[in-house]
C-alpha cells in the first residue's frame, strides 16, 4: 500500500475531505452571510529562515526546511490560519527522530546541557498550541516520536498491552484486533494521534463514556527525563502514596517524554448496537443522559446535540428523497420544534446490550423522545473521523470554525451551556459580526457531562485570528465563571495555560511548577505549554522559575 | 443513646469482641503451639511524661495525659503491643480540635511558624504508623478532625455529597440513606475511620470492586496548608493538566490537611444478592475472579480465600450440628481437599443482578465449583467488621497476628502469592518459631487483584515486635521482588516509607519530596510518614530536605 500523505497546512490526508452540501452552505449563509475566503500559500512559498546552530544530537536529526515547516505547529485555528497564509512565526531549528527510550534520554540530556528547548511531538494534532513553536524560546528542537512505534508486549491474562509512545490509533487497534482485543480509545484525532500524545494531553475518545478516559486506561508508563528513565510499572491498584501515573497523564511534556505505556485493553465486544433518538428539548435530552449514567447500564457512546447543532446536522446530511421527506415530517412535528438528536451505542454480550437498550428506551420514552432507528448512528460511525476536514473547506468558503470543550456537574450544565453561547454571541456582536454556536454533550459521567461547542463566523481578511481570539476569550471566561473546566479533552497547551490558575489554584500551579523544576531542572521541556512562561504574580506564587 | 467507648489499647468498642471458638484455638495450637500471653497494663499505669511547651493555638487544645495517650499512635501491631504493655515511646505534646477549615489553616500556620510537627488524625485506625508519634520530631501536635463532621451539602442531580473530613463511615451512610443514596465505601475500619482518612490513605473498601476505590469517588477536595486553603472543586472530568485531586488522594497528610471532600454517591441499589461458592483450588478460584472481572458483569464484592484461610475460616465458624455435618461432607469430597471459599455479591436492578449471577454461575461451574448458598455470604456481611477484634483476643491467648496486603497483575498473582507465603515461612523458620500464613483476594480489577495476607505465630515475651518485624520485612521484600505493590489499601505510613523508592523510583520520591516542600515549606506536616525522614542517598536524590 502506498503511504498516504498528510496535509501540511490543514487536517488529515491530502486525498480526503468533507463534503459541504448546498443545504449546509445555505444554512450558514443565512445565519452568517458571506466572509472572505482564506488564501492558501503554496508550501514552497513559505519562507523558512535558516536554523540556529544546535549541538550534535545522539539520534537521527533533520534540519531540512520541509521537516522544520511540517513540525512548526499543530492543528489549532491560529496554527492552520498561519500555515495556510504562509505566516508561521517560528520554526524549530531541527527535528530529531529517536529510535529508543535510551536515545530520548540522551537527546534530552544534550538539549538540557545546551539549553535547547524540546517540544515532544506525537501525531501533532494538538488544537491548543501544545506543539507550536512560540516566541521566547531560544534554539528549539522538535522531538518526533514517529520511530517509537508498535506493540512491545502483550499480557493476555491481565489484558495489558505495552505500546511505544509514537504508535497511532489505527496501529493500536490493528495490533490488538487479531488477538480478539481492543483498546477502544477513539478521539476525533484517532487516525493521526498517538499513545504518548493521548496520555500527555489527558485525552478522551468517542467511546470513553463506556471504555473510560485515557486516565483510566494507563496501567503503567515510562517517562524519559534529562536525568534518565522514570519507570512506573503496570499496577492494577495501589495505596503506595499518590498515583504518580496520574501526574504523568496530562503533563503535556513538561515532566518528561512518555516513551512507552502499558494500557488496559479488553476483549472485542461480542455485540454492538446503537441508534439515533429524537428528544423534544435540550433539557429532556440531558435528563435521558443523566438517567442512563446514574441508573445504568451505561452506554458506550452518548452524544446529545442541542437544537442548533441538530439543525446544522440536518443541513449537513443529504438524504435520498424518501428518507429526506420522512425526516422533514418528523422534525416538522410541533413537539420536536426544538428537537435534539441523541446518539447512543452499547457494546457487550447480546443479553447485556439488549437489556441496556430496553432500559434506555424507557428513559427516552419518558422524556417524550422517539427512536429514529439505526441509520443516523451508522452514518455517524462511518463519517465521524471526517468532521475535522470541514474546517479546511469552510475556510476556503470564507467561514471560520473552531471548537472548544468543557465539562461540569449535571446541576451546572444548563446554565453553563447558556452562558457560553451567550458570551460567544455577545463577543461577536461587540466585534460587529454574526456567529453561530452549536453544542453537544460528547461524554457523560455519573456526576456530570462534557459540552463540546462549535462556533462559526464570517471571516474578515487579516483579522481571522483576532476574530477567533475574541470569541475564544469570551467562551473561556464564561466557562470558568460557571463552574466548567477550561478543557475536557483538548488539553491546556499554550492556549489555556493562562486560565489554569483560576481552575487549580495558586497552590496547584505552584505544585506543577515545582514538579517541572524537579524533573527538568534546566527547564527545556516544552516551555510555555501547560504552565505559562511568565509565572502569574501574586503573594503565594513560587519564587523563581527555571523557564527562559 | 449513650456514647460507646473505644478501646484505648486495642481495636474498636470496649463492649465488643470476636469469639474464638475451641475449634479455632485447636487449629492454631496444632500449627503454632502455645505462645506467651501479652500482658495488659492498666491505662492509669502508663507513664505519660509532661508535655513540651507549645505556642498558643487558635483552636480548642488539650494537654491532658489521657488525651495525649489516646492520640499517641494508631492500630498497627507494634502500636497495640506498645499500648498494651504500657510502653509507647512518644506522646504528642497536645491534641488540638479545630472546628472549621479556617481554624485548621490557622493552627497549621502557628505550628509552621513555631516549628511544631503536626499529625493530622481522623479515626486513628492506621495500621502502618500513619498517625504514630515517632522519635526525631521536636514538639508535636495531633490535629484531631473529630469536630469537622457531617454532610455539608448534597447535589442530588449530580449525585455529589460534600462531607467534612472527620465524618465517620456510619455517619456518611446515615446521612445519605434517608435520601435513597449511599457512598458504598466500606473498609474494614468503616465504623471508626473518616472521609479525610480514607482520602489521605488512598483507601479501598469491601465493595470497591463494584463501587470503586476512594480514588474514584473523590470529585473535589479542600486541603488546608500552612499557606491557606487549596480548593479543587468537584469536576466530572477534565484535561486541564494532571489530575491534582489524585495527588491529594494518598498524600497521607504530607501535602496538607484534607478538611472537606465532594464524594460521588449513588442511588441505593434496588436489589442485592450474594452467595458462597466452593472452588477446587486457588488457581481455579483465581480464574473465576479473572473471568468475572474481564467479561463482566462485575460483582460488587469478590473475596477468594486460599486453602489455608478457607481452613481457618471453617475452624472459626461454629455451625449447628446438621449444618456442620453438611459442611464436613462437602469439604470431605476429594475434589475439594484444597478447596477455596469464594464470596460474591451483586447489587443493582433485579434483572441486572439476576443476569450477573447467572453469568457468574457459568464461570464457577466451568471451574468445578459448587454453590454453598447464601448463608456464608450473610454471615460474612453480619460479622465482617468484627474480624479486627480477633487480634486482641489472640494476643491475650499468646498468639501474634497481623495482616498485610498487596496487588499485582493477574499474570503475576500466583507467583506473588507463593513468594510471600514462602518468605514469611522462611523468616519464621530462621527465627526459630512456627507461622501460619492465610491469604485472600479482597479486591479484583480487570488487570489484576489484591492479595490480603494474615499471618499468625506464637508470641515470645518481650520479642513480640522483633518477631513481627522479621515476618513483615520478609513479606515486604518478597512483594517488591515479585511485581507487587507495597500496599494495596493500608497506605504507606512510616512502615512502608523505606520501600517507596523501590516502587515509584528515585524520580517519584524526589517529585513527592519537592511537592511536600512546596506546600509545606517548614516541613511540619506529618514528618516521617509517606516519605522517610532521611532522604535515601543516591546520585539522583534531591538536594536538601526541609525535614528536621
B464-481 and B77-84 are packed helices; what angle lies between their axes, rounded to 10 degrees?
180
Give pLDDT, residue A545: 36
Per-residue pLDDT tens over the stretch A350-362? 988 999 999 999 9
Neighbouring residues of A411: CB distance < 8 A, sequence distance ≥ 6: B155, B157, B158
Sign of the CA dihedral with A168 first, then A169, A175, and A176 last? positive
Q: Which residue of A has its CA nearest to B255?
A: A511
- Which residues 87-116 in chain A show a CB within 8 A of chain B? none
- Inter-chain touch B408–A235, beta carbons under 8 Å: yes
Q: Is there a cis peptide before residue A144, judged by omega within 30 degrees of 0?
A: no
Cβ-based burial of B91 (10 A; exposed 0-12, middle 13-18, buried ≥19): buried
Residue B544: band (very low, low, confident or very high) from pLDDT cuts 50, 70, 90: very low
Distance from A449 to chain B by nearest Cα, in Å?
Answer: 7
- Which residues 336-365 in chain A show a CB within 8 A of chain B? 348-349, 351-352, 355, 359
Whole-number Å distance between alpha carbons of B456 and B468? 9
Are B2 and B75 a contacting pair, CB within 8 Å?
A: no
Grid cell of B247 as nine digits: 495527588
Which residues, in sequence order, are bridge partners of residue A60?
Answer: A97
Whole-number Å distance between alpha carbons of B499 and B480? 8
Grid cell of A345 as nine digits: 451505542
Residue B277: band (very low, low, confident or very high) from pLDDT cuts 50, 70, 90: very high
Q: How is chain A split among helix, strand and coil, in percent rounded to 5?
A: 40, 20, 40
| C-alpha triplet B4, B10, B15: angle, nearest 5° | 30
> Out of A160, A233, A518, whose CB is closest to B511?
A518
Instruction: Give the best residue of A185, A226, A237 to mutate against chain B (max B CB count within 10 A).
Output: A237
- Phi and psi at residue B478, in whole multiples of 5°? -65, -40
Grid cell of A127 as nine digits: 488544537
Whole-number Å distance between alpha carbons of A120 and A57? 15
Per-residue pLDDT tens over the stretch A70-80? 999 999 999 99
Whole-number Å distance between alpha carbons of B471 and A281? 64
Q: Is the pLDDT of residue B98 over 90?
A: yes
Sign of the CA dihedral with A223 first, then A224, A229, and A230 last? negative
Are A443 and A463 a contacting pair, CB within 8 Å?
A: no
Q: Is the pLDDT of residue B510 over 50?
A: yes
Q: Which residue of B has its CA nearest to A531?
A: B241
Q: Distances from the Cα of A233 to the Cαs of A230, A261, B414, B513, in angstroms?
A: 10, 9, 18, 20
Whole-number Å distance between alpha carbons of A464 and A474? 16
- Inter-chain touch B542–A247, beta carbons under 8 Å: no
Which of A407, A399, A418, A413 lies closest to A490 in space, CA to CA? A407
A411 contact residues in B (CB cutoff 8 A): 155, 157-158
Q: Is there a cis peptide before residue A297, judged by omega within 30 degrees of 0?
A: yes
**Residue A8: helix, strand or coil by DSSP?**
coil
- Which residues 506-525 in chain B show a CB within 8 A of chain A? 507-508, 510-512, 514-515, 517-519
Q: Is the pLDDT of residue B198 over 50?
A: yes
- A268 half-sphere exposure, CB direction, 13 A CA radius: 9
Within an 8 Å CB–CB cutoff, is residue B487 touching chain A?
A: yes
- Inter-chain touch A236–B448, beta carbons under 8 Å: yes
Neighbouring residues of A50: CB distance < 8 A, sequence distance ≥ 6: none
Q: Is there a cis peptide before residue B152, judged by omega within 30 degrees of 0?
A: no
Which of A454, A459, A305, A463 lies closest to A394 in space, CA to CA? A459
pTM assigned to the model: 0.96
Q: Is the pLDDT of residue A538 over 50?
A: no
Whole-number Å distance between alpha carbons of A85 and A252? 28
Q: Is the pLDDT of residue A532 over 50?
A: yes
Give pLDDT, residue B534: 67
- Inter-chain touch A234–B443, beta carbons under 8 Å: no
Grid cell of A57 as nine digits: 544530537
Distance from A63 to chain B by nearest Cα, in Å?
Answer: 31
Question: Beta strands B271-279 and B257-264: pairing type?
Answer: unpaired
**Residue B219: helix, strand or coil by DSSP?**
strand
- Inter-chain touch B228–A488, beta carbons under 8 Å: no
Grid cell of B426 as nine digits: 522462611
Q: Distances from the Cα of A399 to the Cαs of A8, A457, B78, in angstroms?
A: 20, 6, 72
Whole-number Å distance between alpha carbons of B495 and B476? 10
H helix count then E strand count, chain B = 18, 18
Give pLDDT, residue B2: 65
Q: What is the mean pLDDT of chain B?
A: 95
> Out of A233, A515, A530, whose CB is closest to B514?
A515
Per-residue pLDDT tens over the stretch A259-281? 999 999 999 999 999 999 999 99
The DSSP secondary-structure symbol of A58 reads: S
- Edge-first strand order for the sheet with B271-279 is B370-373, B271-279, B340-348, B301-305, B436-441, B448-458, B399-409
- Inter-chain touch B485–A235, beta carbons under 8 Å: yes
Which of A129, A147, A28, A153 lies closest to A72 in space, CA to CA? A129
Give pLDDT, residue A2: 66
What mean pLDDT comes out for the span B388-394? 97
What mean pLDDT comes out for the span B53-64? 96
Distance from A65 to chain B by nearest Cα, in Å?
Answer: 32
A160 contact residues in B (CB cutoff 8 A): 409, 447
Distance from A123 to chain B by nearest Cα, in Å?
Answer: 18
**Residue B370: helix, strand or coil by DSSP?**
strand
Distance from A504 to chain B by nearest Cα, in Å?
Answer: 6
Within an 8 Å CB–CB cutoff, is residue A489 touching chain B?
A: yes
Q: How many Cβ atoms sit within 10 Å of the Cβ of residue B331?
A: 15
Are B146 and B103 a contacting pair, CB within 8 Å?
A: no
Q: Is the pLDDT of residue A547 over 70?
A: no
Distance from B444 to chain A by nearest Cα, in Å?
Answer: 8
Whole-number Å distance between alpha carbons of A151 and B304? 33
Q: Is the pLDDT of residue A535 over 70?
A: no
- Which residues 219-248 in chain B show a CB within 8 A of chain A? 219, 223, 225, 227-228, 230-244, 246-248
Q: Distances from the Cα of B390 to the Cαs of A216, A265, B28, in angstroms?
A: 37, 41, 13
Distance from B99 to chain A by nearest Cα, in Å?
Answer: 23
Residue A289: band (very low, low, confident or very high) from pLDDT cuts 50, 70, 90: very high
Per-residue pLDDT tens over the stretch B115-162? 999 999 999 999 999 999 987 778 999 999 999 999 999 999 999 999
Which residues, in sequence order, are bridge partners of residue B213?
Answer: none
Whole-number Å distance between alpha carbons of A121 and A140? 13
> Out of A231, A294, A490, whose CB is closest to B239?
A490
Alpha helices in B334-492 (DSSP H): 350-366, 375-383, 390-397, 410-431, 464-481
Q: Is the pLDDT of residue B326 over 50?
A: yes
Give pLDDT, residue A321: 85
- Inter-chain touch A239–B409, beta carbons under 8 Å: no
- Which residues 242-301 in chain A show a CB within 8 A of chain B? 242-244, 246-252, 255, 264, 266-267, 290, 294-297
Please tell me the total number of residues recorded for chain A in this structure.
548
Distance from B255 to chain A by nearest Cα, in Å?
Answer: 10
Are B137 and B86 a contacting pair, CB within 8 Å?
A: no
> Out of A155, A243, A407, whose CB is closest to B250?
A243
Grid cell of A357 as nine digits: 437498550
- Inter-chain touch A237–B409, beta carbons under 8 Å: no
Grid cell of A390 as nine digits: 470541514
Which of A394, A438, A204, A400 lies closest to A304 in space, CA to CA? A438
ipTM rounded to 2 decimals: 0.95
- Phi and psi at residue B317, in whole multiples of 5°? -105, 110
Give pLDDT, residue B454: 98
Are A28 and A396 a contacting pair, CB within 8 Å?
A: no
Within an 8 Å CB–CB cutoff, is residue B440 touching chain A?
A: no
Whole-number Å distance between alpha carbons of B183 and B200? 17
Give pLDDT, residue B1: 53
| C-alpha triplet A236, A240, A246: angle, nearest 5° | 65
Size of interface A-B (CB pairs under 8 A): 286
Grid cell of A50 as nine digits: 535558516
DSSP-assigned letters across all residues of A91-130: --SEEEE--SHHHHHHHHHHHHHHT-EEEEESS---SSST
A77-84 and A464-481 are packed helices; what angle lies between their axes, rounded to 10 degrees?
180
Please tell me the total number of residues recorded for chain B in this structure.
548
**Long-range contacts made by residues A370-374, C-beta under 8 angstroms, separation at least 24?**
A370/A277, A370/A278, A370/A330, A371/A275, A371/A276, A371/A277, A372/A275, A372/A276, A372/A277, A372/A278, A372/A330, A372/A341, A373/A275, A373/A276, A374/A273, A374/A274, A374/A275, A374/A276
Within an 8 Å CB–CB cutoff, is residue B154 touching chain A?
A: no
What mean pLDDT comes out for the span B319-347? 92
Q: Which residue of A has its CA nearest to B215?
A: A243
What mean pLDDT comes out for the span B396-408? 98
Whole-number Å distance between alpha carbons of B202 and B224? 18
B127 contact residues in A (CB cutoff 8 A): none
Are B469 and B456 a contacting pair, CB within 8 Å?
A: no
Per-residue pLDDT tens over the stretch B344-366? 999 999 998 999 999 999 999 99
Q: How many Cβ atoms sit within 10 Å of the Cβ of residue A34?
A: 13
Residue that the C-alpha cell 500513619 belongs to:
B130
Which of B329, B370, B398 lies closest to B37 in space, CA to CA? B398
Whole-number Å distance between alpha carbons of A278 and A287? 13
Distance from B257 to chain A by nearest Cα, in Å?
Answer: 14
The three-state DSSP-derived secondary structure of A457-522 is: EECCCCCHHHHHHHHHHHHHHHHHHCCCCCCCCCCCCCCCHHHHHHHHHHHHHHHHHHHHHHHCCC
CA A49 to chain centre: 31
- Inter-chain touch B239–A204, beta carbons under 8 Å: yes
Per-residue pLDDT tens over the stretch A296-344? 899 999 999 999 999 999 999 988 888 888 888 898 899 999 999 999 9
How far is the first Cα of chain B from the last one, in angstroms, to the nearest whole number? Answer: 46
Amino acid at each position: 500500500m502506498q503511504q498516504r500523505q498528510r496535509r501540511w497546512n490543514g487536517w488529515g490526508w491530502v486525498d480526503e475531505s468533507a463534503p459541504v452540501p448546498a443545504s449546509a452552505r445555505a444554512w450558514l449563509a443565512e445565519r452568517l452571510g458571506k466572509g472572505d475566503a482564506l488564501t492558501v500559500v503554496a508550501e514552497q512559498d513559505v519562507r523558512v529562515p535558516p536554523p540556529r546552530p544546535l549541538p550534535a544530537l545522539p539520534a537521527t536529526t533533520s534540519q531540512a526546511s520541509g521537516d522544520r515547516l511540517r513540525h512548526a505547529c499543530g492543528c489549532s485555528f491560529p496554527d492552520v490560519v498561519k500555515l495556510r497564509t504562509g505566516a508561521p512565526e517560528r520554526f524549530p531549528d531541527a527535528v530529531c527522530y529517536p529510535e529508543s527510550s535510551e536515545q530520548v534520554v540522551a537527546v534530552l540530556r544534550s538539549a538540557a546541557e545546551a539549553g535547547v528547548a524540546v517540544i515532544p511531538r506525537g501525531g501533532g494534532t494538538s488544537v491548543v498550541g501544545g506543539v507550536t513553536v512560540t516566541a521566547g524560546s531560544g534554539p528549539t528542537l522538535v522531538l518526533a516520536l514517529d520511530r517509537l512505534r508498535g506493540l512491545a508486549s502483550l499480557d493476555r491474562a491481565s489484558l495489558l498491552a505495552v505500546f511505544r509512545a509514537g504508535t497511532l490509533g489505527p496501529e493500536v487497534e490493528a495490533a490488538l484486533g487479531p488477538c480478539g482485543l481492543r483498546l477502544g480509545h477513539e478521539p476525533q484525532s484517532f487516525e493521526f494521534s498517538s499513545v504518548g500524545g493521548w496520555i500527555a494531553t489527558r485525552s478522551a475518545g468517542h467511546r470513553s463514556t463506556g471504555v473510560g478516559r485515557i486516565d483510566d486506561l494507563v496501567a503503567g508508563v515510562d517517562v524519559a527525563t534529562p536525568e534518565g528513565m522514570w519507570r512506573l510499572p503496570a499496577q492494577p491498584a495501589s495505596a503506595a502514596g499518590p498515583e504518580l501515573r496520574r501526574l504523568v497523564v496530562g503533563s503535556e511534556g513538561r515532566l518528561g517524554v512518555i516513551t512507552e505505556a502499558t494500557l488496559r485493553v479488553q476483549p472485542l465486544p461480542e455485540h454492538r448496537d446503537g441508534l439515533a433518538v429524537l428528544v423534544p428539548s435540550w433539557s429532556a435530552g440531558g435528563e435521558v443522559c443523566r438517567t442512563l449514567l446514574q441508573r445504568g447500564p451505561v452506554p458506550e457512546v452518548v452524544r446529545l446535540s442541542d437544537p442548533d447543532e441538530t439543525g446544522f446536522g440536518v443541513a449537513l446530511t443529504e438524504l435520498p428523497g424518501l428518507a429526506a421527506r420522512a425526516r422533514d415530517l418528523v422534525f416538522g412535528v410541533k413537539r420536536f420544534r426544538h428537537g435534539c438528536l441523541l446518539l447512543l451505542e452499547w457494546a457487550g454480550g447480546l443479553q447485556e446490550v439488549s437489556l441496556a437498550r430496553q432500559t434506555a428506551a424507557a428513559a427516552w420514552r419518558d422524556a417524550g423522545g422517539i427512536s429514529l432507528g439505526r441509520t443516523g448512528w451508522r452514518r455517524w460511525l462511518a463519517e465521524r473521523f471526517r468532521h475535522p476536514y470541514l474546517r479546511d473547506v469552510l475556510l476556503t468558503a470564507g467561514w471560520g470554525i473552531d471548537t472548544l470543550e468543557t465539562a461540569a456537574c449535571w446541576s451546572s450544565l444548563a446554565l453553563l451551556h447558556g452562558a457560553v453561547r451567550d458570551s460567544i454571541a455577545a463577543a461577536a456582536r461587540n466585534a460587529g459580526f454574526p456567529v453561530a454556536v452549536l453544542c453537544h454533550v460528547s461524554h457523560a459521567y455519573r456526576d456530570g457531562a462534557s459540552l463540546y461547542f462549535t462556533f462559526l463566523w464570517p471571516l474578515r481578511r487579516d483579522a481571522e485570528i483576532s476574530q477567533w481570539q475574541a470569541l475564544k476569550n469570551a467562551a473561556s471566561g464564561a466557562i470558568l465563571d460557571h463552574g466548567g473546566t477550561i478543557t475536557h479533552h483538548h488539553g491546556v497547551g499554550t492556549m489555556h495555560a493562562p486560565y489554569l490558575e483560576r481552575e487549580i489554584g495558586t497552590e496547584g500551579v505552584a505544585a506543577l511548577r515545582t514538579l517541572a523544576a524537579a524533573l527538568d531542572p534546566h527547564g527545556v521541556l516544552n516551555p510555555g505549554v501547560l504552565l505559562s512562561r511568565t509565572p502569574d504574580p501574586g503573594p503565594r506564587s513560587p519564587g523563581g522559575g527555571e523557564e527562559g
